Amino acid sequence: MPNGIAISGDGRTLVVAESFRAPRTRLTAFTVTDDGALTDQRVFAEFGSTDTESIDGIGIDSEGAVWAAFPWIGEFRRVREGGEVTDVIRIEPDAAYPDGGTFAVDAILGGPEMRTLYLLISDTSPERLVNGFDTTGRIEAIEVEVAGIRD
């Protein structure tokens, strides 16, 4: 199932997060032609099972690496094409919501220098979602080395 989607700064690569692709989740890349057609489908990176390493939102930086949110394990990872993970950010539960858990939802670069990584986090867990419990969310920000893409 496609979930997150992002396009490179030069507009030539489209990356899709395949969140529930059995048996392993992955980022799939396509080349974007001048007329907008998608060609050259390829595996950008492959991860573990949908039970642990399902991918949610994604964003691309100026080097073409992808910041991907992994909800079930509360991580954000920067991944290069080929699967090399260069950075991992693990999120902690919100002290005001200690029984909620951590759910990494999305990551996007912005700010004046495009080096602020905004992390969308839901203070929930799979169990809370299934049972309809209330949840809260938050946005955290962290400075990163590689800038994002300006429109």
Residue 130 predicted with pLDDT over 80: no
Higher-pLDDT residue of 97 and 110 is 110
| C-beta of residue 50 within 8 angstroms of C-beta of residue 33 | no
Q: Is 129 left (phi over 0), alpha (psi -120 to 50) or beta?
A: alpha
pLDDT at 11: 95
Q: Which CATH number belongs to the domain containing residue 99 in this structure?
A: 2.120.10.30
Residue 16 predicted with pLDDT over 80: yes
24, 34, 135 from 66: Cα distances, Å = 18, 23, 27
If you average pLDDT over every residue of the chain, what do you get?
A: 89
What confidence tier does 126 reach under pLDDT thresholds 50, 70, 90? low
Residue 151 lies in a domain: no
Q: How many CB atoms lie within 10 A of CB 36?
A: 8
Residue 120 lies in a domain: yes
Range of the domain at 135: 2-143
Residue 100 predicted with pLDDT over 70: no
Residue 101 predicted with pLDDT over 70: no
Residue 150 lies in a domain: no
pLDDT at 90: 93
Residue 61 lies in a domain: yes
Tell me how many domains the chain contains: 1
Residue 99 lies in a domain: yes
Residue 58 predicted with pLDDT over 90: yes
Residue 132 lies in a domain: yes
